[in-house]
Chains A and B, each alone.
Chain A
Amino acid sequence: MLLIPCPWCGPRDETEFHYGGQAHVAYPADPGALTDEEWARYLFFRDNPEGAFAERWSHAAGCRRWFNAVRDTATNRIHAVYRPGEPRPVTG
């Protein structure tokens, strides 16, 4: 069970949250210009690192805000949380 620190509400139980996948995946500037392969790559392909991973979470049963978290996929330790629009913090 993870204890996830919501940027607004503070540490809360994992059961209150909803996972949103990789963060900072930008919508293509001109989707019409993309080939099918590039479009599929945008839609379906995500990083799968072992280590620090920036991902989106929603505090679905709490304040219902989306935010980003840098989580270590190997240890589940959450290194940082930050609000949407803020740059990814440098984590050690």
Chain B
Amino acid sequence: MAEGAPETGPETGPGTVAGAGRAVRRSPLGGFAPVAGERVRMAETPFLAQVDVRADPLGEAAAGLAAALGTPLPVRPGTYTGPVTGYPPCSVFWLGPDKWLVVGAEGGTPQEGGPPGGGAAAGGSGPPGGSGTLGGGAAAGGSGPSGGSGAPGESGLAARLRAAAGDGHAAVTDVSAQRTVIRLAGPAARDVLAHGCPLDLHPRVFGPGTCARSTLARADVLLAAGEDEEFQIFVRSSFAAYLWAWLLDAATEYLR
């Protein structure tokens, strides 16, 4: 009792990653089991590297970033590009006329044992393909917080983007911890979102490749539409549990 504290093993479970030493990384929705229904599927994609970029779209920094990313920064409002392959695979979301969010898998996702947030807790009874599809987006991850030349705790992606911006007038900020991502998919996904989002979600307006910041159940979100009725919902970590509960409630009628 006198010598040292008792050795408490790191808590493990869905959405947690044991890091070096005894540090445990816990995703905001690590305690929630993914949903895999016929019409609605829902899972968290935790620990993505997210970098906020501000620059003049016509400036020198934007050109450097575009060269490094392998794609121009999207200038059409409400669109995103990606995932771009080549460079560390990442997506670039338009947030404003001089502001983008670059999202890469580099922040590290649990590599062992299937889709993030899935694993053993999912229970084997769900329809096949459900959580597998949802987990696919993060397949490129797993490198862990890489040692870049950036600030402490910063993802390697941010350091690389800052280097790419060079001496140009730009701000590159790591915001990986700010938001987590909920992937919502299935034929009823649009209907679930429409329960609490003021956006026009008609496929003609909000089809694949479009994104928008708006509110979902009064929480600020960045919503992005992908192929096959799959949506990414970027939500602040502190709002994630609330939004997950709200989505579950909104999806109840489609899960019967």
Residue of A nearest to B78 (CB): A9
Is the CB of A74 closer than 8 A to any CB of chain B? no
Do A9 and B97 have beta carbons less than 8 Å apart?
A: no
Instruction: State whether A63 touches B77 (Cβ < 8 A).
Output: yes
Is the pair B97, A12 in contact by a Cβ cutoff of 8 Å? no
Contacts of A13 in B (CB 8 A): 198-199
A8-B77, A10-B78, A63-B96 known, 4 other contacts, Cβ within 8 Å: A12-B214, A16-B215, A63-B97, A65-B96
B220 interface residue per 8 A CB criterion = yes
Chain B residues lying within 8 Å of A21, measured Cβ to Cβ, are none
- How far, in whole Å, are A9 and B97 apart by their CA atoms in the complex? 10
C-alpha spacing A61/B198, complex, angstroms = 11
Given contacts A12-B214, A16-B214, contact A61 B77 (CB under 8 A): no
Determine whether A64 belongs to the interface, using a CB cutoff of 8 Å to chain B.
yes
A48-91 vs B: 1/0 string, CB under 8 Å?
00000000000001111100000000000000000000000000
A64 to B101, CA, bound (A): 14
Q: Is the CB of A9 within 8 A of B215?
A: no
> Once the chains bind, are A61 and B215 in contact (CB under 8 Å)?
yes
CB A48 to nearest CB in B, in angstroms, measures: 29
Given contacts A63-B95, A63-B96, A65-B96, are A9 and B198 in contact (CB under 8 A)?
Answer: no
Interface residues of B in 67-100 (CB under 8 A from A): 77-78, 95-97, 99
In the complex, are the beta carbons of B214 and A62 less than 8 A apart?
A: yes
- Select one of A61, A63, A65 contacting B220, CB under 8 A: A61
Q: B residues bordering A, Cβ < 8 Å?
A: 77-78, 95-97, 99, 198-200, 212-215, 220
B9 vs chain A, min Cβ distance (A): 43
Which A residues are in CB contact (< 8 Å) with B214?
12, 16, 61-62
Q: Nearest 8 pairs between A and B by C-beta?
A: A13-B198, A63-B96, A8-B77, A61-B215, A62-B213, A9-B77, A15-B198, A8-B97
CB interface residues, A 5-30, toward B, < 8 Å = 8-13, 15-16
Tell me how far the C-beta of A81 lies from the nearest C-beta in chain B, rounded to whole angstroms. Answer: 13
- Say yes or no: B213 contacts A65, CB within 8 Å: no
Given A9-B77, A63-B77; A15-B212 close (CB under 8 Å): no
Bound Cα distance from A65 to B77, whole angstroms: 12
Instruction: Give, as a whole number of angstroms, the nearest-CB distance from B220 to chain A.
Output: 6
Report A-chain residues with C-beta under 8 Å of the C-beta of B198: 12-13, 15-16
Residues of A within 8 A of B212 (CB): 9, 62
Q: List 25 A-B contacts (CB under 8 A).
A: A8-B96, A8-B97, A9-B77, A9-B78, A9-B212, A12-B198, A12-B199, A12-B214, A15-B198, A15-B215, A16-B198, A16-B214, A16-B215, A61-B213, A61-B215, A61-B220, A62-B213, A63-B77, A63-B97, A63-B99, A63-B213, A64-B95, A64-B213, A65-B96, A65-B97
Q: Which residues of B contact A8 (CB under 8 A)?
A: 77, 96-97
How many Å lie between the Cα of A64 and that of B94 in the bound state?
A: 12
Whole-angstrom CA separation of A10 from B77 in the bound complex: 9
